[in-house]
Amino acid sequence: MSAASRYDLQVEDPAPALTPAPPLAISGLHVGYGARAVLAGVDLVVPEGTVTALTGPNGAGKTTLVRAICGRIAPRAGTVTVCGVPAAEGAARARIGLAPQDIALYRSLTISENLEVFASLAGVPGAAVPSCVANVMVRTGVADRRNERIDRLSGGWQRRANVAAALVGDPRLLVLDEPTVGVDAPARAELAALVRSLAGEGLGILLVTHDFSFAEDVADRVAILKDGRVALEGELGALVAAHFPNQRRVEATFAAPPTLAGRQVLAAHGLHPSPDEIAFSGVVADTPAAAGDLIAALKGAGLVPRTLSLQAAGLDALYASVTRKPSP
Ligand SMILES: Nc1ncnc2c1ncn2[C@@H]1O[C@H](COP(=O)(O)OP(=O)(O)OP(=O)(O)O)[C@@H](O)[C@H]1O
């Protein structure tokens, strides 16, 4: 065999498989307004095919973060990339679909008319608009309502159409800002199924919400923003297990705010009031004795709850534990 044919037969090592850049990667992000620092070192990744729920107290900087993701405000430090492209570049914006908190649709136009307008604005060539609109309507389940005006639709259908409008540019990252506002319980369940189905298509989804039960239903991961940073991030079940091992979440509601003495008994058992002092929540050890002690204490103080529930801790308990911690 000649040297040349030996050379021809050499097999090169296959190139290492490239991992595609995630729909969203944020690293060391600092953003502020004038002298005010709002985000002070945010790190967050949304992988494809997953839903990350982002929550945090009012004023924590969630909207500011969304603005930075959409390239509408420049970082003072750190990076935001969308599918590996810096957020400030047009190519990054083209990969983002944003369904804002306020329904961003023309109220007097039908669903399909709105989608046609948004598809054109997203740069879809005229000839491709009908198929783009049809595709998005099927994926979001609005095809049957295509000829109804937005202002005649229920809150749930408006939200669904708002999501559809965010999809016309065929994004890889979908940002849903408070998508359950104004949505009733049955429509919420359908919206949750829609969000999961879009994640199933491979979209990375950032869900900004104060609706903990919706987040629990749809999110693979949760992130809690506090004092300009992500104070806690991870898979909900793992975070709960780490923070509340062998504990149950208790919630007691009353017909009227309890007396001072009653509130003191509740506080002594670690139950904290809602702002209207009708609901009190906290955690107790996951043992029959701990539950029995609590019930005996309520009885002893003459407290008769309208409802009393003991459940596995969830996002609300995590949120309370993170946001009640004093800032460093
Ligand atoms: N354009 C602006 N100029 C100056 N300060 C601003 C501006 N926009 C927001 N802020 C301030 O930045 C902080 C974060 O605001 P941001 O709206 O991002 O919080 P948020 O977490 O979205 O709050 P919410 O849950 O109430 O919507 C707040 O203190 C707010 O007052």
**ipTM value:** 0.96
The rounded radius of gyration (Å) of the Cα atoms in the chain is 25
Query: Residue whose CA is closest, atom 5 of ligand 1?
Result: 33
Clarify whether residues 226 and 305 are in a common domain: no
Clarify whether residues 135 and 222 are in a common domain: yes
Query: Residue whose CA is closest, atom 6 of ligand 1?
Result: 33
The domain that holds 262 is classified in CATH as 3.30.70
Clarify whether residues 101 and 169 are in a common domain: yes
Task: Flag whether the pTM goes above 0.90.
Answer: no
CA of 94 to the centre of ligand 1 (A): 25
CA of 226 to the centre of ligand 1 (A): 13
Domain end marker among 236, 261, 295: 236
Q: Which residues pair with 149 in a beta bridge?
A: 110
Q: In Å, how far from its chain's centre is CA 39?
A: 18
Number of domains in the chain: 2
Clarify whether residues 188 and 226 are in a common domain: yes
Clarify whether residues 29 and 164 are in a common domain: yes
Clarify whether residues 80 and 208 are in a common domain: yes
Counting ligand 1 atoms within 8 A of each CB, the residue from 62, 65, 102, 323 with the most, and so the one to mutate, is 62
- CA distances to 60, 201, 231, 243 from 321, in Å: 16, 34, 11, 9
Clarify whether residues 69 and 106 are in a common domain: yes
- Residue 319 belongs to a domain: no
Query: Residue whose CA is closest, atom 24 of ligand 1?
Result: 58
- CA distances to 37, 118, 239 from 326, in Å: 19, 44, 20
Clarify whether residues 230 and 290 are in a common domain: no
Average pLDDT of every residue of the chain? 91
- Residue 10 belongs to a domain: no
Clarify whether residues 222 and 293 are in a common domain: no
CA of 42 to the centre of ligand 1 (A): 15
Ligand 1 nearest atom to the CA of residue 56, by list position: 21
- Residue 11 belongs to a domain: no
Query: Residue whose CA is closest, atom 13 of ligand 1?
Result: 59
Q: What is the length of the chain?
A: 328
- CA distances to 135, 170, 184, 195, 246 from 145, in Å: 14, 21, 18, 19, 47
CA of 69 to the centre of ligand 1 (A): 15
Ligand 1 nearest atom to the CA of residue 67, by list position: 18
Query: Residue whose CA is closest, atom 4 of ligand 1?
Result: 33
- Residue 250 belongs to a domain: yes
Q: Which residues of the chain fall short of a pLDDT of 70?
A: 1-18, 325-328
CA of 65 to the centre of ligand 1 (A): 10
Query: Residue whose CA is closest, atom 17 of ligand 1?
Result: 63
The H-assigned helical ranges of 128-200 are 129-140, 155-167, 185-200
Ligand 1 nearest atom to the CA of residue 60, by list position: 21
Domain end marker among 236, 271, 304: 236
Counting ligand 1 atoms within 8 A of each CB, the residue from 33, 55, 225 with the most, and so the one to mutate, is 33
Clarify whether residues 117 and 166 are in a common domain: yes
Clarify whether residues 231 and 256 are in a common domain: no
Domain end marker among 216, 236, 256: 236
Which residues have C-beta atoms less than 6 Å from ligand 1?
Answer: 33, 36, 38, 56, 58-64
- Residue 175 belongs to a domain: yes
Residue 302: its pLDDT value, please?
93
- Provide long-range contacts, Cβ within 8 A and 24+ apart, for 42-46: 42/78, 42/225, 42/228, 42/229, 42/230, 43/230, 44/223, 44/230, 44/233, 46/22, 46/173, 46/204, 46/205, 46/206
- Residue 128 belongs to a domain: yes
- Residue 7 belongs to a domain: no
Clarify whether residues 72 and 183 are in a common domain: yes
Residue 36: its pLDDT value, please?
94
The domain that holds 83 is classified in CATH as 3.40.50.300
- Residue 254 belongs to a domain: yes
Domain of residue 289 covers: 245-312
CA dihedral angle for residue 294, residue 300, residue 304, residue 307, rounded to 10 degrees: 10
